[in-house]
Amino acid sequence: MLGTRPEAIKMAPLAVALRNSGILQPVIVATGQHGAPVDQALAAFDLVPDVRLDLARTTGSQPELVAQVATQLDPVLEDSAAVVVQGDTTTALVGGLVAMWRRVPVVHVEAGLRSGDLSAPFPEEANRRMLSVFADLHLAPTRRAVDALLREGLPADRVLLTGNTVVDAVIATALRAQGSTPSDPGVAEVLREVEAGRGRLVLVTAHRRESWGEPLDRVMSAVRQVVDDHPDVLAVVPTHPNPAVRDQVEAALAGHPRIRTTGPLAYPELCHVLSRSTLALTDSGGIQEEAPSFGVPTVVLREVTERVEAVESGWAVLVGTDPEEISVAAKGFLDGDFARPSGPNPFGDGRAAERGAQAIAWLVGRADRPEPFAP
């Protein structure tokens, strides 16, 4: 089950691994929480939804979304051997609840992330905590996530360290995207300059709701300052599809000759840009996990992060949205004041989907339990 673009990206490698195993047949259910972005993300893996829910949203509220997804999803799950949900979205929570009500085993991918603060991220922290109460199999991306689940009293044999499927996704997608040309002419021009050695690329993403409004203005102010302070730096800033957020970003960055704002990038294009970047400024959990695979450090535009491994290993610096803190951290990486991180990606080795597929088959009695990821 998936409803958002990040879910599609992280679930696609698992769907492919299940299909390739020949043991279980994956059925991809798209809830409609996001529309075209989900199809776009799945297309990068040659996948399409098998089932689409038909939502008729008018208010856009969470209660409306929960009610419609739960009602339409219930009959879809009637003959399921297991239901797989990912992360901490409303789709994941409702999918897990409906499956639990039907007494269908629930598999939670990317289980065990914790910020310790119900307000950040909101409502995701609550969603993932609730899922852990009734999931039957917890596929944890990191040792820290495993430890969090065990501290909460979950049975050790139902918790498996797999690594994060996003590492599988980003590596495979970046390889496929090599030599391609981004659809946005401005982004394509930036990449040509960078690949010719005529500049360094900084990727900027700020999409979380807690970043909207005044925090986003502070972030964009810092982006302008970072680019102004480094004449060889070019920035690509994909904007949120929400018109108000997009307008806010474009107004803040308008007219800067070395900053390119664009709409949401297709996942292969985003992977291509990330793989060519020197630095990422981001509030995205996914980019914190993906960037180390390309040797790209991140300045995290959040007050707290559940991806503590990125900070502990030196791949990320947590700064919030204060312009001065952002500028100092970016300068540290760009000017060599900070030691550039090295070593493998702490979030995975590209085999998380393979382990997850075997674990699901084990849950339903079709395979042996796989060996865990060894970071």
pTM of the model: 0.84
110 is catalytic: yes
According to DSSP, the residues that pair with 233 across neighbouring strands are 200
Q: How far apart are CA 168 and CA 173, in angstroms?
A: 9
Residue-wise pLDDT tens digits, 235-294: 999 998 778 888 999 999 999 999 999 998 888 999 999 999 999 999 998 899 999 999
Say if residue 177's pLDDT is above 90: no
Q: How far apart are CA 280 and CA 199, in angstroms?
A: 15
CA torsion 95-100-106-112 (nearest 10°) is 80
Say if residue 179's pLDDT is above 80: no
CA torsion 274-276-282-288 (nearest 10°) is 60
Residue-wise pLDDT tens digits, 42-78: 999 999 999 999 999 889 899 999 999 999 999 999 9
Between the alpha carbon of residue 370 and those of residues 22, 162, 258, the distances in Å are 16, 9, 48
Q: Which of 7, 110, 184, 306 is catalytic?
A: 110
124 is catalytic: yes
Q: Are 263 and 40 in contact (CB under 8 A)?
A: no
Tokens of 330: 């970016």
Average pLDDT, the chain: 93
Residue-wise pLDDT tens digits, 288-318: 999 999 999 999 999 888 889 999 999 999 9
pLDDT of residue 187: 93
Within 8 A by CB and 6+ apart from 341, the residues are: 292, 295, 297, 313, 314, 315
302 is catalytic: no
Give Cα 161 to chain centroid, integer Å: 18
Q: Which of 207, 218, 302, 355 is catalytic?
A: 207
Q: Which of 34, 114, 124, 269 is catalytic?
A: 124
Q: How far apart are CA 302 and CA 290, in angstroms?
A: 17
> Any idea what the Cα angle at residue 13 is, between residues 172 and 363, rounded to 5°?
150
309 is catalytic: no
Sign of the four-CA dihedral 135, 136, 139, 140: positive
Q: Which of 209, 247, 337, 369 is catalytic?
A: 209
